[in-house]
Chains A and B, each alone.
Chain A
């Protein structure tokens, strides 16, 4: 059914349609609307989940860890400082190979305190073993949650999935979405059938001590399965299209890249801005294309290599930075193109930090500086403030 709702509401309804057994979350701006809506849905009896109120995000993640370990389908959502507080548990959930879904609302990290959007928070936990999908718009983030459970719970994967959505820009935006019915979601997403679960009748320990004689092999399997999850992400995207009639792209999604001389790579909502801008630049004769990185973990090496190889210039737009080094995605894309004959130069434009708007002028600047040979720079920087200090 098509309806005009806030994206946070769309996520809450999509999660409820996935029939989670346990929801545990701690409210934090700008994730709040999602968990408010979900608690209302549960309180109204429209979703048969146990909604566990907790005193922190560390506890929320821990409740979910226990719930999945006991064979339940679990859900949580957080952002920024909350995600940092969860970090210790996130590594444990992935390490114990417990499939669940968290909405990672993207917000800047303290200090200084900022409630506004960038992607430093989810980027900071990129090595946790969680798969990460980044959504561009309301329909995509809705559909991604339904896909995420299928991906996570697949025997070949058994890894948690973080659905990343830009705070405010997406969470607080109203768009028309096509909300699937319960029957449709039930047909697409069967009940969670755990491979192993905590059971007093058949006791065991999960994630216990592993000495140097075995730890490395366990981590090898984690890495192997995370890489192999890419095929499952693609498969689920196709199954989703067959079931719901919508193609939302698999691991990367190209926009006007076939003949593009310059390709901008980005994650999340800014891809929408980039598409508009690319259309405009093309009217002015610039062959600009946009590559949406929809699946950041597992990192789609081959797809990126294939999509970017023919361009003359790549510009990575990043809402995060590996402080003291470079933009995170740009560094990884450079590594993908390493030793590829005729590979294009990769420039990294860091911008949109702490809610700074990314406007057409920002993108014009990034393009001009990349063409001038600049490799790593901040775009849309208010240099007058720096000179004053």
Chain B
């Protein structure tokens, strides 16, 4: 009467998400604009780094930052907040 023991199935597709999915889920392709820095104007104040909601701007060295385009959604907050007007948002063609 008791059901025969059969091997267990795999969990249904996409239901179980392991930790670290934010790193695996690349959100960069969502955007169409990318920040372009003008290093002549940049004062290295870190405003762009701290305001980026995606946390994808990294301070590399004095007066040099990098936006990780794999995650940058192109929201433009960094450009709007930059006190030196050193960032412009430019369309990225793919």
What residues of chain A have their CB less than 8 Å away from a CB belonging to chain B?
95-97, 154-156, 158, 187-188, 190, 195-196, 203-208, 210-211, 214-215, 217-218, 221-222, 225, 235, 239, 242-243
Interface SS of B by simple majority: loop
Most chain A CB atoms below 10 A, which of B6, B15, B17, B18 = B15
Q: Are B15 and A96 in contact (CB under 8 A)?
A: yes
Q: Which residues of B are found within 8 Å of A205, using beta-carbon distances?
A: 16-17, 19, 21
Least Cβ distance of A227 to chain B in Å?
Answer: 14
Q: Which residues of B are found within 8 Å of A218, using beta-carbon distances?
A: 12-15
Least Cβ distance of B3 to chain A in Å?
Answer: 7
In the complex, the number of residue pairs spanning A and B with C-beta atoms less than 8 Å apart equals 56
Q: Are A214 and B1 in contact (CB under 8 A)?
A: no
One of B9, B16, B18, B25 near A155 (C-beta < 8 A): B9
Residue of B nearest to A154 (CB): B3
Q: Which residues of A are found within 8 Å of B8, using beta-carbon distances?
A: 155, 195
Least Cβ distance of A31 to chain B in Å?
Answer: 30
7 intermolecular pairs with C-beta atoms under 8 Å apart: A95-B15, A155-B9, A187-B2, A204-B16, A206-B15, A217-B14, A225-B12
Most chain B CB atoms below 10 A, which of A187, A188, A204, A235 = A204
A217-B13 in contact given A155-B6, A203-B19 (Cβ < 8 Å): yes
Given contacts A196-B16, A205-B16, A206-B15, 15 further A-B contacts (CB under 8 A): A97-B11, A155-B6, A155-B8, A155-B9, A158-B12, A190-B2, A196-B11, A196-B15, A203-B19, A210-B14, A211-B25, A217-B13, A218-B13, A242-B1, A243-B1
In this complex, the interface size class of chain B, counting residues with CB under 8 Å from chain A, is 10 to 19
Q: Which residues of B are found within 8 Å of A196, using beta-carbon distances?
A: 11, 15-16
Q: Which residues of B are found within 8 Å of A156, using beta-carbon distances?
A: 9
Q: Which residues of B are found within 8 Å of A95, using beta-carbon distances?
A: 15
Q: Are A222 and B18 in contact (CB under 8 A)?
A: no
Measured CA separation A158–B16 after assembly (Å): 14
Q: Are A188 and B21 in contact (CB under 8 A)?
A: no
A239-B17 in contact given A195-B9, A218-B12 (Cβ < 8 Å): no
Interface string of B3-35 (1 = CB under 8 A from A): 100101101111111110100010000000000
One of B15, B17, B19 near A97 (C-beta < 8 A): B15
Interface string of B26-57 (1 = CB under 8 A from A): 00000000000000000000000000000000
Q: Are B3 and A206 in contact (CB under 8 A)?
A: no
Residue of A nearest to B7 (CB): A155
A239-B3 in contact given A156-B9, A195-B8 (Cβ < 8 Å): yes
One of B3, B12, B19 near A221 (C-beta < 8 A): B12
Q: Are A97 and B12 in contact (CB under 8 A)?
A: yes
Least Cβ distance of B39 to chain A in Å?
Answer: 35
Q: Which residues of B are found within 8 Å of A190, using beta-carbon distances?
A: 2
Q: When A and B form their complex, which 6 residue pairs have the shortest distance between CB atoms, in order from nearest? A: A218-B14, A205-B17, A208-B17, A242-B1, A155-B9, A97-B12
Q: Which residues of A are found within 8 Å of B16, using beta-carbon distances?
A: 196, 204-206
Measured CA separation A187–B1 after assembly (Å): 9
Q: Which residues of B are found within 8 Å of A158, using beta-carbon distances?
A: 12
Q: Are B13 and A195 in contact (CB under 8 A)?
A: no
Q: Which residues of A are found within 8 Å of B9, using beta-carbon distances?
A: 155-156, 195
Most chain B CB atoms below 10 A, which of A208, A215, A217, A239 = A208
Q: Which residues of B are found within 8 Å of A208, using beta-carbon distances?
A: 17, 21
Q: Which residues of A are found within 8 Å of B17, using beta-carbon distances?
A: 204-206, 208
Q: Are B13 and A214 in contact (CB under 8 A)?
A: yes
